[in-house]
Amino acid sequence: MLKGLLEHIGIEPGRLNFSWISSAEATKFVDVAQQVAASVKALGPARYLIKKRAEVA
């Protein structure tokens, strides 16, 4: 649900990733790690929702 909401407001789908991996699934871990890294890398640096120095007067 959170993922849906964040994507709805413009956080790119590849930024937030979920997975289930059992402790024996080392190869799955690596596969998913590669997928996640690739998808984040493809999106480039995060642009939205980053807290910077407060924009105040």
Partner 1 sequence: MIEYTAIIRDTAKKLLKDGKVDVFIGYKKGTVPMMNEPVVISDPEKVDTLHWDSLCGLNLCNYLTKRKDKIGIIANGCNSRNIVTHILENQISREQLYIVGIPCTGVIDHRAVLRAVGNKEVLDVQEQGDKFTVSGNGFSETFDKAKFLRTNCAVCTHRNPVIYDEMVASPVKEQEGVDPFEDVKKIEAMDPEKKWGFFTKMIERCLRCYACRNSCPLCYCPTCFVDESKPQWVGKSIDPTDTMTFHIMRAYHCAGRCTDCGACERVCPVGIPMRQFTKKLNKDALEYFSWEAGLNPDARPPLDVYKPDDYNDFVK
Partner 2 sequence: MSDWEPKITTFLCHWCSYGAADLAGVSRLQYPHNFRVIRVPCSGRVSPKFILAAFRHGADGVWVSG
Partner 3 sequence: MKHPRFIDMSKCIACGTCAEKCPKKVDDPFNENMGKRKAIYVDYAQAVPLKYSINKDECLYFKKGKCRACEKFCPTGAINYEDKEEKVVLQAGAVILSTGFKTFNPSTFPTYQYASFENVVTSLEYERILSATGPYQGHLVRPSDYKEPQKIGWLQCVGSRDINRCDHPYCSSVCCMYAVKEAMISKEHADYDLDAAIFFMDMRTYGKDFEKYYERAKEHGIRFVRARLHTLEEDPETKDIKVRYADEKGEIQVETFDMMVLSVGMETPAELVETAKTLGIGLDTDNFAATGVFTPVETSRKGIYVCGAFSGPKDIPQSVTEASSAAAGAGLLLSSARNTLTKEKHIPEERNIIGERPRIGIFICQCGINIGGIVNVPSVRDYAATLPYVEYATDSLYTCSQDSQETMAKIINEKGLNRVVVAACTPKTHEPLFQETLVDAGLNKYVFEMTNIRNQCSWVHKDSPEMATAKAKDLVRMAAAKVSLMEPLKETELEVDQRALVVGGGIAGMVAAKTLSSQGYQVYLVEQTGSLGGNALLLSKTWRGDDVQSRLSELISSVESDKNIEIYKDTKLTNVEGFVGNFKTTLNDQNVIEHGIAVIATGGKEYIPNEYLYGKDPRVVTHLELDKMFLAGDQRLKDVKNAVFIQCVGSRVPERPYCSRVCCTHSVKSAINLKENNPDTNVYVLYRDIRTYGQREELYKEARNRGVIFIRYSLEERPVVENINGRISVRIKDHILQQGIAIDPDLVVLASGIIPQDNEALAQMFKLSVNEDGFFMEAHAKLRPVDFATEGVFLAGMAHYPKPIEESIAQAQAAVSRAVTLLARKKVMVSGTVAQANPVMCSSCSVCIDICPYSAPSFIKQGPFTGKAEINPALCKGCGLCVASCRSGALNLKGFGTDQIMAMINEI
Residue numbers of the site for partner 1 (CB under 8 A)?
1-13, 17-20, 32, 35, 47-52, 54-56
Least Å from the CB of residue 11 to partner 1 = 7
Which secondary-structure segment (H or E) carries 3? Answer: helix 2-8
Which residues of this protein are in contact with partner 2, per CB under 8 A? 2, 6, 11, 14-30, 32-34, 36-41, 43-46, 48-51
The rounded distance, in Å, linking the Cα atoms of 37 and 30 is 10
Binding partner at 46 among partner 3, partner 1, partner 2, none, C-beta below 5 to 8 Å by kind? partner 2
Cα separation, 27 vs 49, in Å, equals 33
